[in-house]
Chains A and B, each alone.
Chain A
């Protein structure tokens, strides 16, 4: 991807996103199906969380397995502040994001003394600790009973309790996420992250301060997890500790793998496809995994770079004159 920040160059690369955004924005005018809204909103919330994981795994090459823990911290912060202290969602949400970023920094200060697999296992442990703490801290989090009755936000006369309105809130949040993540990817900071993924020793000898870059991308990642979590809390209205556990982390990781790790479209594509697919095979109940499992195996076998990676590969088959030397440009 070129560094030139001129509008003439960013327009052609950004137009599919604008098209998708406009299409998504006009859909509620014609469709009034609450079930479809529900699927779409869930896709968008978890896609934001997947983008948060992607900046770590896809850009910096670090597997953060405490991701759902931070999603949970964001969600519970919004839940507790609005429910118990009567805060406005519009204040609680930013605070939840800041808190997640700060805790991400703290975790990074310790976790980045490890590398590779050890880092992944370490964060997995932290994820379990977060879930257990939420589960046991009855007075704050409601423990096993969870938090009930978190109110949907209002903005003036706009009531986000209506699915159609919430759809727009989630859409704006997702659009902002994609926009910011794309900016990070094109930045000097983002390029340095790609360098760290490609080889830490070379990055270091090229003069990149690997440690501070990791800390900052960790903060971005946990902030995005909290951003998604806060939205989740007010959409679902109920919080239990289970959503903050490793199984959610691995579900988000699955979205990433299917969509394409390290790509811009991957997190959204993967979340969309898996969640829509799950809607179709829900009727099979316990047997749905018999369908889903082999499908995933086939996908990983034949599209190891995910669906967005498939697109990159197709593009790469065009004559060289048409393509730039770029990776993750989708």
Chain B
């Protein structure tokens, strides 16, 4: 549904993403992995219209969305979250989610000044959509608290709720589990799986290998801005180019070692669970 051809962007002399071709399959969870600086977030920014690609194109449901401003991409049904927890900390949880529904409303300045029927109607609709989004991430009980007073994990959920309130078909999650503890990661993993089960197409960038290996149906590997591998978690974890990309990098030896064990363990566990 979301497809990209020869997608690339150059910042000055730095080719951050180049020649990425592929597509996101509907209804499943796709993970995008790669060493630090592989261009994963930049790739997300290209998909969501945050950056204008310098080459290639992006289509959604057959429609060319290359170069569309972000709010229009969101209106078509592609929503995203940010790597760092980006929410409105001083607003209530409900108001955060409510802003996500703004893209589905049309009330403007006149509606505000005259308190028109449309404004009243859309306020009710926004409230319902926001509450529905909070329910999907399990935050309906905290709707009236200031978002900044929640735990780090709950704040991650708020950012997902903002994206959900836009009524997306595709949800792009940029490192949803960054900065939260293992137990919370398990809970968040469950929520993401529930979202996918409800028919949402999920694409996520993540560094936590355990999370990716248990969550992803499909993995795409970026390295130096290029796609070097793609496939099921078991396939990708055995792919020599992927191992090379991670181990041939400049990471400290113990990090490489950890990753190797991580990957091998997860692959073994995964195969075990399928048998």
A199 to chain B: which residues have CB within 8 Å? 86, 88
Which of the 9-residue segments A20-28, A158-166, A184-192, A231-239 touches chain B? A184-192
Contact of B80 among A3, A192, A205 (CB under 8 A): A205
A217 to chain B: which residues have CB within 8 Å? 109
Contact (A202, B88) CB under 8 Å given A3-B126, A210-B71: yes
Q: Tell me whether A188 and B123 are in contact (CB under 8 A).
A: yes
Q: List CB contacts (< 8 Å) of B44-78 with chain A.
A: 48, 50, 69-71, 74-75
Q: List CB contacts (< 8 Å) of A170-191 with chain B.
A: 180, 183-184, 187-191
Cα A207 to Cα B146 in complex, Å, equals: 22
Rounded to whole Å, the gap between the CB of B117 and the closest CB of chain A is 11
A194 to chain B: which residues have CB within 8 Å? 88, 91
Contact of B75 among A192, A198, A207 (CB under 8 A): A207
How many of chain B's residues have a CB under 8 angstroms from any CB in A?
45
B6-40 to A contact mask, C-beta < 8 Å, 1/0: 00000000000000000000000000000000000
Q: Tell me whether B111 and A187 are in contact (CB under 8 A).
A: yes
Q: Tell me whether A204 and B70 are in contact (CB under 8 A).
A: yes
Q: Tell me whether A188 and B105 are in contact (CB under 8 A).
A: yes
A327 to chain B: which residues have CB within 8 Å? 90-91
A201 within 8 A of B: yes
Q: Tell me whether B71 and A3 are in contact (CB under 8 A).
A: no
Which one of A202, A203, A220, A325 has the highest number of Cβ atoms from chain B below 10 Å of its Cβ?
A: A325
Please report whether the interface of chain A is mostly helix, strand, loop or mixed according to DSSP.
Answer: helix
A219 within 8 A of B: yes
A195 to chain B: which residues have CB within 8 Å? 88, 91, 99, 102
How many of chain A's residues have a CB under 8 angstroms from any CB in B?
34
Cα A326 to Cα B105 in complex, Å, equals: 22
B79 within 8 A of A: yes
B115 to chain A: which residues have CB within 8 Å? 5, 183, 187
A117 within 8 A of B: no
A324 within 8 A of B: yes
Rounded to whole Å, the gap between the CB of B167 and the closest CB of chain A is 9
A275 within 8 A of B: no
Contact (A189, B108) CB under 8 Å given A5-B115, A198-B88, A327-B90: yes
Q: List CB contacts (< 8 Å) of A273-330 with chain B.
A: 324-327
Q: Tell me whether B82 and A208 are in contact (CB under 8 A).
A: no
B172 (CB) vs chain A CBs: closest residue: A205
B80 (CB) vs chain A CBs: closest residue: A205
Which one of A183, A198, A207, A208 has the highest number of Cβ atoms from chain B below 10 Å of its Cβ?
A: A207
- Not counting A325-B91, A327-B91, a sample of 16 additional A-B residue pairs whose C-beta atoms are within 8 angstroms of each other reads A180-B113, A183-B115, A184-B112, A187-B111, A194-B88, A195-B99, A198-B90, A202-B162, A204-B71, A205-B74, A207-B70, A207-B74, A208-B102, A208-B103, A209-B71, A325-B92
- Listed in ascending order, the chain B residues whose CB lies under 8 Å from chain A are 48, 50, 69-71, 74-75, 79-82, 86-88, 90-93, 95, 98-100, 102-105, 107-109, 111-113, 115, 119-120, 122-123, 126-127, 144-146, 162-163, 166
User: Which 4 residue pairs across A and B have the least CB separation, nearest first?
Assistant: A207-B103, A187-B112, A207-B74, A325-B92
